A and B are shown apart, each in its own frame.
Chain A
Amino acid sequence: MNIISSPTIQTKRVRPTISKSLLYILCIILAIVFLFPITWSIITSFKPPAEAAAIPPTGLPSYISWENYQKFNGFGDGAGRYLFNSVSVAIMTVAGTVILSTLAGYGFSRFDFPVKNLLFLMILTTLMIPFQMILTPLFLILGALGLQNTLPGLALVYITFQLPFGVFIMRNSFDTVPRELEEAALLDGCSSVSLLYRVMLPIVLPGVITAGIYAFLNSWNEFLAALIFMNHQNMFTFPILLNSVNYGLYGAVDWGALQAGVTISILPSILIFLLFQRYYMQGLTGGSVKA
Protein backbone atom coordinates (compact mmCIF):
# COMPACT_ATOMS: atom_id res chain seq x y z
CA MET A 1 0.00 0.00 0.00
CA ASN A 2 1.44 3.29 -1.00
CA ILE A 3 -0.76 5.60 1.02
CA ILE A 4 1.55 8.37 2.06
CA SER A 5 4.05 8.56 -0.69
CA SER A 6 7.46 9.83 0.23
CA PRO A 7 9.19 10.51 3.53
CA THR A 8 8.24 13.94 4.76
CA ILE A 9 11.55 15.69 4.72
CA GLN A 10 10.72 19.29 3.97
CA THR A 11 14.16 20.83 4.10
CA LYS A 12 17.36 19.14 5.16
CA ARG A 13 18.55 22.05 7.21
CA VAL A 14 16.22 23.66 9.72
CA ARG A 15 16.58 27.40 9.42
CA PRO A 16 19.30 28.57 11.76
CA THR A 17 17.15 31.37 13.21
CA ILE A 18 14.74 28.89 14.73
CA SER A 19 16.62 26.78 17.13
CA LYS A 20 15.72 23.12 17.29
CA SER A 21 15.52 23.04 21.05
CA LEU A 22 12.92 25.82 21.08
CA LEU A 23 10.77 23.73 18.78
CA TYR A 24 11.15 20.73 21.05
CA ILE A 25 10.15 22.80 24.08
CA LEU A 26 7.04 23.95 22.20
CA CYS A 27 6.25 20.35 21.25
CA ILE A 28 6.60 19.20 24.84
CA ILE A 29 4.46 22.01 26.27
CA LEU A 30 1.73 21.17 23.76
CA ALA A 31 1.98 17.48 24.59
CA ILE A 32 1.50 18.30 28.28
CA VAL A 33 -1.56 20.41 27.46
CA PHE A 34 -3.08 17.61 25.36
CA LEU A 35 -2.29 14.78 27.74
CA PHE A 36 -2.89 16.51 31.08
CA PRO A 37 -6.71 16.05 31.27
CA ILE A 38 -6.52 12.33 30.57
CA THR A 39 -3.54 11.75 32.85
CA TRP A 40 -5.08 13.74 35.66
CA SER A 41 -8.30 11.74 35.42
CA ILE A 42 -6.40 8.44 35.57
CA ILE A 43 -4.28 9.61 38.52
CA THR A 44 -7.34 10.86 40.41
CA SER A 45 -9.14 7.56 39.87
CA PHE A 46 -6.40 5.88 41.93
CA LYS A 47 -6.53 8.37 44.80
CA PRO A 48 -8.09 7.38 48.10
CA PRO A 49 -11.71 8.71 47.94
CA ALA A 50 -11.07 11.44 50.54
CA GLU A 51 -8.22 12.84 48.43
CA ALA A 52 -10.21 12.54 45.21
CA ALA A 53 -13.00 14.62 46.79
CA ALA A 54 -10.67 17.17 48.39
CA ILE A 55 -11.47 20.87 47.97
CA PRO A 56 -9.29 22.29 46.50
CA PRO A 57 -7.82 19.27 44.68
CA THR A 58 -4.64 17.72 46.09
CA GLY A 59 -1.59 16.69 44.09
CA LEU A 60 -0.41 13.14 43.59
CA PRO A 61 -2.15 10.38 45.59
CA SER A 62 -0.54 9.54 48.95
CA TYR A 63 -1.04 5.86 48.08
CA ILE A 64 -2.62 3.87 45.24
CA SER A 65 -6.20 2.97 46.06
CA TRP A 66 -8.81 0.91 44.19
CA GLU A 67 -11.64 2.23 46.34
CA ASN A 68 -12.97 4.56 43.64
CA TYR A 69 -13.32 1.58 41.32
CA GLN A 70 -15.12 -0.39 44.04
CA LYS A 71 -17.51 2.51 44.60
CA PHE A 72 -18.04 2.89 40.87
CA ASN A 73 -18.92 -0.80 40.75
CA GLY A 74 -21.69 -0.10 43.28
CA PHE A 75 -23.74 2.05 40.87
CA GLY A 76 -26.91 0.57 39.37
CA ASP A 77 -26.52 -3.08 38.44
CA GLY A 78 -22.74 -2.96 38.90
CA ALA A 79 -20.05 -1.93 36.41
CA GLY A 80 -19.79 -5.51 35.14
CA ARG A 81 -23.31 -5.37 33.72
CA TYR A 82 -22.60 -2.14 31.79
CA LEU A 83 -19.22 -3.34 30.61
CA PHE A 84 -20.95 -6.46 29.33
CA ASN A 85 -23.52 -4.30 27.48
CA SER A 86 -20.89 -2.08 25.85
CA VAL A 87 -18.53 -4.93 25.00
CA SER A 88 -21.31 -7.07 23.48
CA VAL A 89 -22.59 -4.21 21.34
CA ALA A 90 -19.03 -3.44 20.24
CA ILE A 91 -18.30 -7.06 19.32
CA MET A 92 -21.54 -7.40 17.37
CA THR A 93 -20.94 -4.07 15.63
CA VAL A 94 -17.37 -4.97 14.64
CA ALA A 95 -18.33 -8.46 13.43
CA GLY A 96 -21.38 -7.23 11.52
CA THR A 97 -19.59 -4.28 9.96
CA VAL A 98 -16.58 -6.33 8.89
CA ILE A 99 -18.63 -9.17 7.39
CA LEU A 100 -21.17 -7.00 5.56
CA SER A 101 -18.54 -4.53 4.32
CA THR A 102 -16.22 -7.26 3.07
CA LEU A 103 -19.00 -9.04 1.18
CA ALA A 104 -20.33 -5.81 -0.30
CA GLY A 105 -16.85 -4.46 -1.07
CA TYR A 106 -16.05 -7.67 -2.95
CA GLY A 107 -19.35 -7.55 -4.81
CA PHE A 108 -18.95 -3.91 -5.84
CA SER A 109 -15.31 -4.32 -6.83
CA ARG A 110 -15.44 -7.57 -8.75
CA PHE A 111 -18.87 -8.04 -10.27
CA ASP A 112 -21.11 -6.35 -12.73
CA PHE A 113 -24.79 -6.53 -12.02
CA PRO A 114 -27.95 -4.54 -12.68
CA VAL A 115 -28.32 -1.27 -10.71
CA LYS A 116 -24.83 -1.72 -9.26
CA ASN A 117 -23.92 1.95 -9.40
CA LEU A 118 -27.27 2.96 -7.98
CA LEU A 119 -26.84 0.65 -4.98
CA PHE A 120 -23.27 1.82 -4.36
CA LEU A 121 -24.43 5.42 -4.52
CA MET A 122 -27.29 4.64 -2.14
CA ILE A 123 -24.89 3.27 0.49
CA LEU A 124 -22.48 6.18 0.09
CA THR A 125 -25.25 8.79 0.24
CA THR A 126 -26.00 7.76 3.78
CA LEU A 127 -22.57 9.19 4.61
CA MET A 128 -23.91 12.63 3.75
CA ILE A 129 -27.03 12.44 5.90
CA PRO A 130 -26.22 12.69 9.61
CA PHE A 131 -27.79 9.86 11.61
CA GLN A 132 -29.10 12.42 14.11
CA MET A 133 -31.71 13.38 11.52
CA ILE A 134 -33.37 9.95 11.36
CA LEU A 135 -33.38 8.95 15.04
CA THR A 136 -37.09 9.66 15.56
CA PRO A 137 -38.42 7.07 13.05
CA LEU A 138 -35.55 4.71 13.88
CA PHE A 139 -36.87 4.66 17.44
CA LEU A 140 -40.28 3.54 16.10
CA ILE A 141 -38.77 0.94 13.72
CA LEU A 142 -36.75 -0.63 16.55
CA GLY A 143 -39.90 -0.61 18.67
CA ALA A 144 -41.92 -2.35 15.95
CA LEU A 145 -39.21 -5.01 15.63
CA GLY A 146 -39.11 -5.48 19.41
CA LEU A 147 -35.48 -4.32 19.44
CA GLN A 148 -35.64 -1.31 21.74
CA ASN A 149 -33.56 -1.83 24.86
CA THR A 150 -31.83 -4.85 23.33
CA LEU A 151 -28.11 -5.16 22.65
CA PRO A 152 -28.57 -6.57 19.09
CA GLY A 153 -30.96 -3.71 18.30
CA LEU A 154 -28.37 -1.06 19.13
CA ALA A 155 -25.71 -3.06 17.27
CA LEU A 156 -27.91 -3.21 14.14
CA VAL A 157 -28.18 0.57 14.15
CA TYR A 158 -24.43 1.01 14.68
CA ILE A 159 -23.62 -1.45 11.89
CA THR A 160 -25.81 0.51 9.49
CA PHE A 161 -24.09 3.78 10.42
CA GLN A 162 -20.68 2.14 9.82
CA LEU A 163 -21.54 0.57 6.47
CA PRO A 164 -20.86 3.51 4.11
CA PHE A 165 -17.30 3.88 5.42
CA GLY A 166 -16.73 0.12 5.62
CA VAL A 167 -18.05 -0.63 2.13
CA PHE A 168 -16.04 2.24 0.65
CA ILE A 169 -12.80 1.08 2.29
CA MET A 170 -13.37 -2.55 1.31
CA ARG A 171 -14.30 -1.72 -2.29
CA ASN A 172 -11.04 0.22 -2.57
CA SER A 173 -9.09 -2.62 -0.96
CA PHE A 174 -10.45 -5.18 -3.40
CA ASP A 175 -9.70 -2.82 -6.29
CA THR A 176 -5.99 -3.10 -5.45
CA VAL A 177 -5.91 -6.91 -5.71
CA PRO A 178 -4.41 -7.95 -9.06
CA ARG A 179 -7.00 -9.50 -11.32
CA GLU A 180 -4.58 -12.18 -12.55
CA LEU A 181 -4.59 -13.73 -9.08
CA GLU A 182 -8.33 -14.08 -9.18
CA GLU A 183 -8.40 -15.43 -12.73
CA ALA A 184 -5.82 -18.05 -11.84
CA ALA A 185 -7.80 -19.18 -8.82
CA LEU A 186 -10.98 -19.33 -10.89
CA LEU A 187 -9.22 -21.48 -13.51
CA ASP A 188 -8.20 -23.83 -10.71
CA GLY A 189 -11.90 -24.31 -9.99
CA CYS A 190 -12.21 -22.04 -6.98
CA SER A 191 -15.77 -20.94 -6.16
CA SER A 192 -16.58 -17.27 -5.57
CA VAL A 193 -16.89 -17.73 -1.83
CA SER A 194 -13.67 -19.69 -1.34
CA LEU A 195 -11.90 -17.31 -3.70
CA LEU A 196 -12.91 -14.48 -1.39
CA TYR A 197 -12.06 -16.34 1.78
CA ARG A 198 -8.82 -18.09 0.82
CA VAL A 199 -7.20 -15.97 -1.86
CA MET A 200 -8.32 -12.40 -1.40
CA LEU A 201 -9.01 -11.97 2.30
CA PRO A 202 -5.34 -12.16 3.30
CA ILE A 203 -4.58 -9.36 0.84
CA VAL A 204 -7.40 -7.05 1.92
CA LEU A 205 -6.79 -7.67 5.64
CA PRO A 206 -5.53 -4.11 6.28
CA GLY A 207 -8.87 -2.77 5.02
CA VAL A 208 -10.73 -5.22 7.24
CA ILE A 209 -8.73 -4.08 10.27
CA THR A 210 -9.37 -0.42 9.44
CA ALA A 211 -13.13 -0.98 9.11
CA GLY A 212 -13.10 -2.99 12.35
CA ILE A 213 -11.25 -0.34 14.38
CA TYR A 214 -13.65 2.41 13.33
CA ALA A 215 -16.62 0.16 14.08
CA PHE A 216 -15.23 -0.55 17.56
CA LEU A 217 -14.44 3.07 18.42
CA ASN A 218 -17.75 4.43 17.18
CA SER A 219 -19.76 1.75 18.96
CA TRP A 220 -17.77 2.04 22.20
CA ASN A 221 -17.92 5.84 22.27
CA GLU A 222 -21.40 6.57 20.85
CA PHE A 223 -23.71 8.55 23.12
CA LEU A 224 -26.90 9.94 21.54
CA ALA A 225 -28.37 6.80 19.93
CA ALA A 226 -27.60 4.73 23.02
CA LEU A 227 -29.27 7.41 25.17
CA ILE A 228 -32.45 7.18 23.09
CA PHE A 229 -32.66 3.44 22.39
CA MET A 230 -31.44 2.09 25.74
CA ASN A 231 -33.60 3.74 28.40
CA HIS A 232 -33.92 0.81 30.80
CA GLN A 233 -31.34 1.20 33.51
CA ASN A 234 -29.96 -2.33 33.11
CA MET A 235 -29.47 -1.84 29.36
CA PHE A 236 -27.34 1.34 29.56
CA THR A 237 -24.07 1.34 27.69
CA PHE A 238 -21.00 2.67 29.46
CA PRO A 239 -21.23 6.32 28.33
CA ILE A 240 -24.89 6.44 29.41
CA LEU A 241 -23.99 4.99 32.81
CA LEU A 242 -21.32 7.68 33.25
CA ASN A 243 -23.80 10.40 32.37
CA SER A 244 -26.29 8.99 34.89
CA VAL A 245 -23.64 9.07 37.61
CA ASN A 246 -22.95 12.71 36.78
CA TYR A 247 -26.69 13.38 36.67
CA GLY A 248 -27.02 12.25 40.28
CA LEU A 249 -29.09 9.16 39.48
CA TYR A 250 -27.07 7.29 42.11
CA GLY A 251 -26.89 10.04 44.71
CA ALA A 252 -24.59 13.06 45.02
CA VAL A 253 -21.83 13.02 42.40
CA ASP A 254 -18.83 11.04 43.61
CA TRP A 255 -16.02 12.62 41.59
CA GLY A 256 -13.42 9.96 42.36
CA ALA A 257 -15.76 7.17 41.31
CA LEU A 258 -16.78 9.10 38.19
CA GLN A 259 -13.13 9.42 37.14
CA ALA A 260 -12.72 5.67 37.70
CA GLY A 261 -15.57 5.24 35.19
CA VAL A 262 -14.08 7.78 32.78
CA THR A 263 -10.76 5.93 32.95
CA ILE A 264 -12.40 2.58 32.17
CA SER A 265 -14.23 4.25 29.29
CA ILE A 266 -11.28 5.97 27.61
CA LEU A 267 -8.47 3.43 28.07
CA PRO A 268 -9.77 0.82 25.58
CA SER A 269 -10.13 3.50 22.87
CA ILE A 270 -6.61 4.81 23.42
CA LEU A 271 -5.15 1.30 23.57
CA ILE A 272 -6.84 0.17 20.34
CA PHE A 273 -5.70 3.34 18.62
CA LEU A 274 -2.08 2.98 19.75
CA LEU A 275 -1.99 -0.68 18.72
CA PHE A 276 -3.48 -0.12 15.29
CA GLN A 277 -2.45 3.48 14.63
CA ARG A 278 -1.27 2.76 11.08
CA TYR A 279 -4.61 1.24 10.07
CA TYR A 280 -6.53 4.02 11.79
CA MET A 281 -4.65 6.70 9.85
CA GLN A 282 -5.20 4.82 6.59
CA GLY A 283 -8.90 5.13 7.30
CA LEU A 284 -8.57 8.91 7.61
CA THR A 285 -6.66 9.32 4.37
CA GLY A 286 -8.65 6.62 2.57
CA GLY A 287 -11.12 9.23 1.40
CA SER A 288 -8.59 11.44 -0.31
CA VAL A 289 -5.92 8.98 -1.38
CA LYS A 290 -7.10 5.87 -3.12
CA ALA A 291 -5.18 2.80 -2.04
Chain B
Amino acid sequence: MIETSGTSTEAMLTAQPRSRNRTIRRHTGLLFVLPAVTFTTIFFILPLLMTIWMSLHNWPLLGQSTFIGFENYSSLTSDRQFWSSLGFTIRYTLLITPPIFVLAFVLALLVNLPLRWIGIFRTAYFIPVVIGLGASSLLWVWLLNDRVGAINTLLRQANIIEGSLIWLGSIDTAIFAIIVSVTWKTVGFTMVLLLTGMQAIPQEIYQAAMVDGASFLGRLRFITLPLLRSTIALALVLSVIGSFLAFDQFYIMTRGGPRNQTITAVYWIFNNSFTYFKMGYGSALSIVLLGILVILSMLQLRLLRRDVG
Protein backbone atom coordinates (compact mmCIF):
# COMPACT_ATOMS: atom_id res chain seq x y z
CA MET B 1 0.00 0.00 0.00
CA ILE B 2 1.08 3.54 -0.55
CA GLU B 3 2.25 5.19 2.61
CA THR B 4 1.49 8.83 3.13
CA SER B 5 3.03 10.41 6.14
CA GLY B 6 1.39 13.27 7.95
CA THR B 7 4.17 15.74 8.68
CA SER B 8 4.69 18.77 6.51
CA THR B 9 8.28 17.86 5.70
CA GLU B 10 7.01 14.80 3.89
CA ALA B 11 4.75 16.79 1.60
CA MET B 12 7.54 17.17 -0.93
CA LEU B 13 8.37 13.50 -0.71
CA THR B 14 4.89 12.17 -1.36
CA ALA B 15 4.58 14.41 -4.40
CA GLN B 16 7.34 12.42 -6.05
CA PRO B 17 6.60 9.87 -8.74
CA ARG B 18 6.78 6.35 -7.33
CA SER B 19 9.86 4.51 -8.47
CA ARG B 20 9.69 0.95 -9.80
CA ASN B 21 11.64 -0.73 -7.06
CA ARG B 22 9.49 0.77 -4.36
CA THR B 23 9.10 -2.34 -2.20
CA ILE B 24 12.85 -2.85 -2.06
CA ARG B 25 13.44 0.79 -1.16
CA ARG B 26 10.93 0.58 1.67
CA HIS B 27 13.05 -1.95 3.49
CA THR B 28 16.27 -0.21 2.55
CA GLY B 29 15.05 2.82 4.48
CA LEU B 30 14.46 0.73 7.56
CA LEU B 31 17.99 -0.69 7.31
CA PHE B 32 19.48 2.80 7.24
CA VAL B 33 17.76 3.90 10.43
CA LEU B 34 18.11 0.57 12.23
CA PRO B 35 21.53 1.20 13.91
CA ALA B 36 20.39 4.51 15.41
CA VAL B 37 17.07 3.00 16.48
CA THR B 38 18.86 0.03 18.12
CA PHE B 39 21.17 2.32 20.10
CA THR B 40 18.28 4.46 21.23
CA THR B 41 16.29 1.40 22.27
CA ILE B 42 19.06 -0.28 24.29
CA PHE B 43 20.61 2.77 25.89
CA PHE B 44 17.61 5.07 26.19
CA ILE B 45 14.16 3.50 25.93
CA LEU B 46 15.11 0.39 27.91
CA PRO B 47 16.72 2.32 30.80
CA LEU B 48 13.79 4.74 30.80
CA LEU B 49 11.32 1.88 31.26
CA MET B 50 13.67 0.27 33.79
CA THR B 51 13.69 3.48 35.83
CA ILE B 52 9.93 3.17 36.27
CA TRP B 53 10.21 -0.55 37.06
CA MET B 54 13.11 -0.13 39.49
CA SER B 55 11.32 2.68 41.30
CA LEU B 56 8.79 0.08 42.47
CA HIS B 57 11.50 -2.09 44.00
CA ASN B 58 13.95 -2.21 46.83
CA TRP B 59 16.98 -2.55 44.55
CA PRO B 60 20.43 -2.92 46.12
CA LEU B 61 23.61 -3.11 43.99
CA LEU B 62 24.15 -6.77 44.94
CA GLY B 63 21.59 -9.35 45.98
CA GLN B 64 17.91 -9.82 45.28
CA SER B 65 15.64 -6.91 44.53
CA THR B 66 12.16 -7.04 46.03
CA PHE B 67 8.93 -5.53 44.74
CA ILE B 68 7.61 -2.99 47.21
CA GLY B 69 4.97 -1.14 45.18
CA PHE B 70 4.91 2.58 45.85
CA GLU B 71 6.87 2.41 49.09
CA ASN B 72 9.81 4.36 47.61
CA TYR B 73 7.43 7.14 46.64
CA SER B 74 5.79 7.28 50.05
CA SER B 75 9.11 7.28 51.93
CA LEU B 76 10.15 10.13 49.65
CA THR B 77 7.58 12.38 51.31
CA SER B 78 9.34 12.04 54.68
CA ASP B 79 12.85 12.32 53.23
CA ARG B 80 14.01 15.66 54.65
CA GLN B 81 17.11 15.82 52.46
CA PHE B 82 14.97 15.33 49.36
CA TRP B 83 12.79 18.31 50.22
CA SER B 84 15.76 20.40 51.20
CA SER B 85 17.51 19.45 47.91
CA LEU B 86 14.41 20.24 45.88
CA GLY B 87 14.06 23.57 47.70
CA PHE B 88 17.68 24.41 47.12
CA THR B 89 17.45 23.50 43.42
CA ILE B 90 14.41 25.74 42.99
CA ARG B 91 16.13 28.56 44.86
CA TYR B 92 19.25 28.21 42.72
CA THR B 93 17.18 28.18 39.51
CA LEU B 94 15.19 31.26 40.56
CA LEU B 95 18.36 33.12 41.50
CA ILE B 96 20.46 32.32 38.43
CA THR B 97 17.84 32.72 35.67
CA PRO B 98 17.37 36.54 35.89
CA PRO B 99 21.09 37.45 35.79
CA ILE B 100 21.64 35.09 32.84
CA PHE B 101 18.73 36.59 30.91
CA VAL B 102 19.37 40.24 31.65
CA LEU B 103 23.07 39.93 30.86
CA ALA B 104 22.45 37.77 27.77
CA PHE B 105 19.93 40.29 26.46
CA VAL B 106 22.28 43.24 26.93
CA LEU B 107 25.13 41.30 25.34
CA ALA B 108 22.94 40.27 22.40
CA LEU B 109 21.92 43.92 21.81
CA LEU B 110 25.57 44.93 21.99
CA VAL B 111 26.95 42.33 19.59
CA ASN B 112 24.08 42.98 17.17
CA LEU B 113 25.32 46.54 16.61
CA PRO B 114 26.84 47.30 13.20
CA LEU B 115 30.32 47.88 14.57
CA ARG B 116 33.55 46.80 12.99
CA TRP B 117 35.26 43.84 14.76
CA ILE B 118 32.02 43.08 16.64
CA GLY B 119 32.28 39.42 15.57
CA ILE B 120 35.49 39.09 17.58
CA PHE B 121 33.74 40.29 20.74
CA ARG B 122 30.83 37.95 20.07
CA THR B 123 33.27 35.05 19.91
CA ALA B 124 35.09 36.19 23.06
CA TYR B 125 31.87 36.26 25.11
CA PHE B 126 30.91 32.85 23.78
CA ILE B 127 34.18 31.00 24.45
CA PRO B 128 33.38 29.89 28.04
CA VAL B 129 30.32 28.04 26.66
CA VAL B 130 32.46 25.49 24.81
CA ILE B 131 34.68 24.47 27.73
CA GLY B 132 33.44 21.79 30.10
CA LEU B 133 31.45 22.68 33.21
CA GLY B 134 33.76 20.35 35.14
CA ALA B 135 36.90 22.16 33.98
CA SER B 136 35.32 25.58 34.50
CA SER B 137 34.23 24.61 38.04
CA LEU B 138 37.80 23.59 38.89
CA LEU B 139 39.04 26.83 37.39
CA TRP B 140 36.67 28.81 39.61
CA VAL B 141 37.45 26.80 42.77
CA TRP B 142 41.00 28.03 42.32
CA LEU B 143 40.03 31.62 41.41
CA LEU B 144 37.82 31.77 44.53
CA ASN B 145 40.35 30.18 46.87
CA ASP B 146 41.01 32.33 49.94
CA ARG B 147 44.78 31.86 49.78
CA VAL B 148 45.94 31.52 46.15
CA GLY B 149 42.83 32.80 44.36
CA ALA B 150 42.84 35.90 42.16
CA ILE B 151 39.31 37.06 43.06
CA ASN B 152 40.10 37.91 46.69
CA THR B 153 43.27 39.71 45.62
CA LEU B 154 41.43 41.78 43.01
CA LEU B 155 38.64 42.69 45.46
CA ARG B 156 41.20 43.58 48.12
CA GLN B 157 43.07 45.84 45.72
CA ALA B 158 39.80 47.55 44.79
CA ASN B 159 39.15 48.03 48.54
CA ILE B 160 35.88 46.11 48.30
CA ILE B 161 36.88 43.57 50.94
CA GLU B 162 39.50 43.38 53.66
CA GLY B 163 41.40 40.17 54.23
CA SER B 164 40.06 37.14 52.40
CA LEU B 165 36.59 35.69 51.97
CA ILE B 166 36.15 31.93 52.05
CA TRP B 167 33.58 32.15 49.29
CA LEU B 168 32.57 28.49 49.20
CA GLY B 169 32.53 28.13 52.98
CA SER B 170 29.08 29.51 53.75
CA ILE B 171 25.89 28.98 51.82
CA ASP B 172 25.08 32.57 50.82
CA THR B 173 28.52 33.45 49.48
CA ALA B 174 28.78 29.99 47.91
CA ILE B 175 25.52 30.44 45.97
CA PHE B 176 26.60 33.90 44.90
CA ALA B 177 30.03 32.72 43.75
CA ILE B 178 28.63 29.72 41.91
CA ILE B 179 26.00 31.87 40.19
CA VAL B 180 28.74 34.23 39.01
CA SER B 181 30.85 31.35 37.71
CA VAL B 182 27.98 29.53 35.97
CA THR B 183 26.65 32.78 34.48
CA TRP B 184 30.13 33.44 33.10
CA LYS B 185 30.15 29.93 31.64
CA THR B 186 26.64 29.83 30.13
CA VAL B 187 25.49 33.38 29.34
CA GLY B 188 27.03 33.26 25.86
CA PHE B 189 24.71 30.44 24.90
CA THR B 190 21.57 32.43 25.75
CA MET B 191 23.15 35.47 24.09
CA VAL B 192 23.50 33.64 20.78
CA LEU B 193 19.95 32.27 20.94
CA LEU B 194 18.56 35.78 21.55
CA LEU B 195 20.84 37.23 18.87
CA THR B 196 19.52 34.74 16.31
CA GLY B 197 16.00 35.78 17.22
CA MET B 198 16.86 39.48 16.94
CA GLN B 199 18.38 38.98 13.51
CA ALA B 200 15.20 37.31 12.30
CA ILE B 201 13.18 40.49 12.98
CA PRO B 202 12.69 42.35 9.68
CA GLN B 203 14.60 45.65 9.60
CA GLU B 204 11.66 47.40 7.92
CA ILE B 205 9.74 47.29 11.19
CA TYR B 206 12.52 49.19 12.98
CA GLN B 207 12.84 51.66 10.12
CA ALA B 208 9.12 52.35 10.14
CA ALA B 209 9.19 52.85 13.91
CA MET B 210 12.10 55.26 13.61
CA VAL B 211 10.27 57.26 10.98
CA ASP B 212 7.44 57.51 13.50
CA GLY B 213 9.96 58.78 16.03
CA ALA B 214 10.09 55.78 18.35
CA SER B 215 12.92 55.94 20.87
CA PHE B 216 15.50 53.18 21.43
CA LEU B 217 13.65 51.98 24.53
CA GLY B 218 10.32 52.25 22.76
CA ARG B 219 11.55 50.05 19.91
CA LEU B 220 12.90 47.60 22.49
CA ARG B 221 9.63 47.49 24.38
CA PHE B 222 7.20 47.37 21.47
CA ILE B 223 9.13 45.60 18.72
CA THR B 224 12.11 43.58 19.94
CA LEU B 225 10.62 42.02 23.08
CA PRO B 226 7.23 41.00 21.63
CA LEU B 227 8.79 39.56 18.47
CA LEU B 228 11.39 37.70 20.51
CA ARG B 229 8.74 35.95 22.56
CA SER B 230 9.14 32.48 21.09
CA THR B 231 12.93 32.75 21.13
CA ILE B 232 12.84 33.81 24.77
CA ALA B 233 10.51 30.88 25.52
CA LEU B 234 12.95 28.42 23.98
CA ALA B 235 15.96 29.97 25.71
CA LEU B 236 14.10 30.08 29.04
CA VAL B 237 13.10 26.42 28.88
CA LEU B 238 16.66 25.36 28.04
CA SER B 239 18.17 27.57 30.74
CA VAL B 240 15.72 26.61 33.50
CA ILE B 241 16.03 22.89 32.77
CA GLY B 242 19.82 23.24 32.75
CA SER B 243 19.78 24.93 36.15
CA PHE B 244 17.32 22.40 37.53
CA LEU B 245 19.69 19.58 36.57
CA ALA B 246 22.70 21.26 38.21
CA PHE B 247 25.25 18.79 39.50
CA ASP B 248 28.87 19.30 38.34
CA GLN B 249 29.37 22.75 39.86
CA PHE B 250 28.08 21.73 43.30
CA TYR B 251 29.81 18.34 43.32
CA ILE B 252 33.12 19.98 42.44
CA MET B 253 32.94 23.41 44.08
CA THR B 254 31.12 22.82 47.39
CA ARG B 255 30.82 19.01 47.51
CA GLY B 256 27.26 19.58 48.66
CA GLY B 257 28.38 21.53 51.71
CA PRO B 258 28.37 23.35 53.97
CA ARG B 259 26.23 20.91 56.02
CA ASN B 260 24.61 19.33 52.93
CA GLN B 261 22.93 22.62 52.11
CA THR B 262 24.03 22.73 48.47
CA ILE B 263 23.02 19.18 47.54
CA THR B 264 20.87 19.62 44.44
CA ALA B 265 18.13 17.26 43.26
CA VAL B 266 20.39 15.43 40.78
CA TYR B 267 23.12 15.31 43.44
CA TRP B 268 20.68 13.61 45.83
CA ILE B 269 19.76 11.04 43.15
CA PHE B 270 23.49 10.45 42.57
CA ASN B 271 24.10 9.95 46.30
CA ASN B 272 21.24 7.47 46.68
CA SER B 273 21.99 5.44 43.56
CA PHE B 274 25.77 5.47 43.57
CA THR B 275 26.93 6.24 47.10
CA TYR B 276 24.33 4.40 49.20
CA PHE B 277 23.40 2.08 46.28
CA LYS B 278 19.69 2.47 47.02
CA MET B 279 18.99 2.19 43.31
CA GLY B 280 15.24 1.68 43.60
CA TYR B 281 14.94 4.81 45.66
CA GLY B 282 17.24 6.69 43.28
CA SER B 283 14.95 5.67 40.42
CA ALA B 284 11.86 6.90 42.25
CA LEU B 285 13.60 10.24 42.81
CA SER B 286 14.43 10.36 39.08
CA ILE B 287 10.82 9.78 38.08
CA VAL B 288 9.60 12.53 40.40
CA LEU B 289 12.20 14.98 39.10
CA LEU B 290 11.35 14.06 35.52
CA GLY B 291 7.68 14.76 36.25
CA ILE B 292 8.56 18.16 37.72
CA LEU B 293 10.68 19.01 34.67
CA VAL B 294 7.92 18.10 32.22
CA ILE B 295 5.37 20.22 34.10
CA LEU B 296 7.87 23.07 34.34
CA SER B 297 8.63 23.19 30.62
CA MET B 298 4.97 22.96 29.66
CA LEU B 299 4.16 25.76 32.09
CA GLN B 300 6.87 28.02 30.70
CA LEU B 301 5.88 27.43 27.11
CA ARG B 302 2.22 28.05 27.98
CA LEU B 303 2.99 31.25 29.88
CA LEU B 304 5.11 32.69 27.10
CA ARG B 305 2.87 31.64 24.23
CA ARG B 306 -0.19 33.18 25.86
CA ASP B 307 -1.59 36.39 24.43
CA VAL B 308 0.68 36.54 21.41
CA GLY B 309 -0.25 39.07 18.77
Contact = CB atoms under 8 A, between A and B. Distances in A.
A30 B108 CA distance: 13
Contacts of B124: 30-31, 34-35
A100 B43 contact: no
A156 interface: yes
Contacts, number: 300
B142 A111 contact: no
Given A8-B112, A40-B150, A222-B132, A160 B33 contact: no
B140 A111 contact: no
B225 interface: no
A163 B127 contact: no
Contacts of A223: 132-134, 247-248, 251-252
B25 interface: yes
Contact of A57 (B153, B206, B273, B283): B153
B273 A135 contact: yes
Question: Which secondary structure dominates chain A's binding surface?
Answer: helix
Contacts of B3: 112-114, 116
A280 B123 CA distance: 12
Interface string B126-146: 011011111110111111010
Contacts of B270: 135, 224, 228
B304 interface: no
A139 B278 CA distance: 13
A141 interface: yes
Chain B interface category by residue count: 35 or more
A55 B132 contact: no
Contact of A186 (B19, B134, B135): B19
Given A14-B114, A57-B150, A136-B54, A255 B138 contact: no
Contacts of B184: 33-34, 37
B213 interface: no
A220 B289 contact: no
A4 B196 contact: yes
9 closest residue pairs by CB, A with B: A111-B29, A107-B32, A221-B132, A137-B50, A104-B36, A239-B134, A223-B134, A160-B43, A107-B33
6 contacts: A10-B203, A14-B113, A26-B110, A112-B25, A223-B132, A288-B196
Given A56-B147, A136-B282, A289-B200, 15 more contacts: A9-B114, A11-B206, A14-B115, A40-B143, A52-B148, A56-B152, A100-B36, A111-B28, A113-B3, A116-B3, A136-B283, A139-B279, A157-B43, A160-B43, A266-B136
